[in-house]
Amino acid sequence: MASPLTDRELKKGSAELLILSLVEDRPRHGYDIGQLIERRSRGALRFNVASLYPLLYRLEERGWVRGRWVEKAGQRRRRYYRLTRAGKKILAAQRHGWRDFVQAIGRITGIEYA
């Protein structure tokens, strides 16, 4: 596990990209997003409630994601977030930016990009 400091720095820069990517293929609720980040990063990245939701709200405020309460049979109602059209553009741009950034870092530090 990375040091808390690094973790925080990285998270700060990457959080938006992570969330946008996760809701790209289908709408997800907050708990789901948090779990997925933790699971797919194999525990390397973890957002607590106090930081994840404000982030979601910020993305929503910018119009990149949109939250909606959905009631499904046999389940409690949840707020699902889906990517908006504006969000899609941002996601594409950020992906591009990150790839360039990571490659640049790799070239300098000699770390292979997996």
- The reply on whether position 60 binds other proteins by CB under 8 A is yes
Q: Which residue stretch of 16-24, 58-66, 83-91, 96-104 sits at the interface with other proteins (rule: CB under 8 A)?
A: 58-66
Residue 95 binding other proteins, by CB under 8 A = no
Q: Which is nearer to other proteins, 14 or 95 (CB)?
A: 14
Residue 67 token pair: 């939250």
Residues 99 and 52: their CA atoms lie apart, in Å, by: 24
Decide: is 48 part of the binding site for other proteins (CB under 8 A). Answer: yes
SS3 66: strand
* Closer to other proteins by Cβ: residue 42 or 108: 42
- Beta strand 78-83 pairing with 28-29: antiparallel
CA distance 16 to 22: 10
Which helix (H) or strand (E) segment holds residue 114: the answer is: none
Residues in touch with other proteins (CB under 8 A): 8, 30-31, 34, 48-51, 53-55, 57-58, 60-61, 68-69, 71, 76-79
